[in-house]
Amino acid sequence: MLVTLAAVVAVSWYVSRQISGLRTLQTDLTDRYRKDSLQLLRIQNDLNSVALAMRDMLDNDSGYPLTAWAAQFERIRADLEDALRIEEQVAVARRTPEESRYLASSMEQFWDAADRMFALARSGQDAEARAQIRLSLQARQASLTTNVARLLVENNEREEQTARRVQDIYNDVQRQIQWFLGATLTAILLTSLYLIRSNRRVFAEMESLSERRRELAQQMIATREATLQHISRELHDDLGQVLTAMGSMLSRAGRQAPDDSALRSDLREVREIAQSTLEKVRALSQTLHPSMLEQAGLEKTVEWYLSTVERQLGLTVTYERTGSSATVDEAVGIHVYRVLQEALNNVARHSGATRAWVRLRLAADVLELDIEDRGTGLDAGPPRHGLGIVTMRERAELVGGTIEFVRPPEGGTLVRLSIPLLDDEIAR
């Protein structure tokens, strides 16, 4: 890979350099030659216009005074000066100082002679003015035209030379690319064979690691559920029985105390505290591991849990259930319950919403659970990869289902759990 990369970098640098030179030739030279030729043609056209004007001025039958052409000469002069200025800027071949001075001085001499000719015409000396045209202006115009034509020929020759150089660079780059492609294809073939072998080994290791990760996740979730179930039973059975016995003993002691005794009032207050603590312990026991899931099923457990959410989490939950009644296997039901529990905890902790919607749908072969809120949503901050979301994904995968975290059009977050139900997981 390093050899292939080095070859690609080296040849790419070479090709880039060649193409850069080609771009310089095409853009900086060819375009400038073209622009230079256009300006020379413009100058030549202006000189031809001057020649035609002088021919008409020498025509005695025209009936126009010589001064009538003064405005036309001024327009041609302005255009010539602009064309000469642009041509000097875009010219590729730099002329010698003598050549530049010759062209500039020839142009100045021509317009000086033209000014003297119009001065004679304005003073009424038409014959002398026409003689000036024949003897001086026409000769100077012809000399300028010849000089511009020579520059055009030189410019065209240089443009042809540039075109040949561009073609040579194209051919050289093409040969280099063909050689490079052959070498690169050979290197890619050898590298691909090596990568295929390496990838197979890597994929096998990844598959093994993924399988071990799934097994570890299952063990962690199973251990967690067993621990929560054990704590739940300890709270319900041991501590619950102790609190129940304390309540009975306080009740008996209260009945033995006189009616107007302060002790009777204190005992009643302590018994009420014990009863309240017993109810909290039972609620905590159900939250840790809902024993009613085994007794009443998933639907009743969901209804009971949602009835405690507003008191525990401060959320107002709207619950909707659709589909026919079904008894879901406990192994599936506990994961559905945990996903619901974790999703509502996330709503209370992270979304900033005070209301949530829970929808449970039971179809012939699928169970769907939606938990939706109108809070800040998943896009409001950096993505969270906490243990809760990871665990929800693992639980969905353990029962062969899928879980999605999407942003509804109304905003907020929608958690959608979908679990296929097999024949031995559901009874009707």
C-alpha 11: how far from chain center: 31
Residue 294, pLDDT above cutoff 80: no
Q: Of 176-190, 340-354, 382-396, which range is least confident?
A: 382-396
Overall average pLDDT of the 26-42 stretch:
79
63 pLDDT tier (thresholds 50, 70, 90): low
- Hey, what CATH topology would domain 290-427 get? Heat Shock Protein 90 (3.30.565)
- Positions of CATH 3.30.565.10 in the chain: 290-427
Q: Which residue's structure tokens are 């939250």?
A: 287
What are the DSSP E strand ranges found in 286-398? 316-323, 327-328, 355-362, 366-373
Report pLDDT for 414.
92
Report pLDDT for 389.
84
For residue 328, report the phi and psi dihedrals to the nearest 5 degrees. -90, 140
The pLDDT tens digits of the residues spanning 357-390 come to 999 998 878 899 999 998 887 654 444 556 778 8
- Positions of CATH 1.20.120 in the chain: 2-190
- For residue 327, the cross-strand partners are 427
Contact assessment for residue 354 and residue 377, using Cβ atoms and an 8 Å cutoff:
no
Report pLDDT for 383.
46
Residue 421 tokens read as 């139900």
| pTM (global) more than 0.75 | no
* More confident: 250 or 51: 51
- Hey, what CATH topology would domain 2-190 get? Four Helix Bundle (Hemerythrin (Met), subunit A) (1.20.120)
22 pLDDT tier (thresholds 50, 70, 90): low
Report pLDDT for 312.
82
- 106 SS3 class: helix
- 168 SS3 class: helix
For residue 393, report the phi and psi dihedrals to the nearest 5 degrees. -65, -45
Give the C-alpha separation, 370 to 333, whole Å. Answer: 15
Query: DSSP secondary structure string, 212-266?
Result: HHHHHHHHHHHHHHHHHHHHHHIIIIIIHHHHHHHHHHHHHHHHHS-TT-HHHHH
The pLDDT tens digits of the residues spanning 105-163 come to 888 888 999 999 889 989 988 889 889 888 888 888 898 899 888 888 888 887 788 77
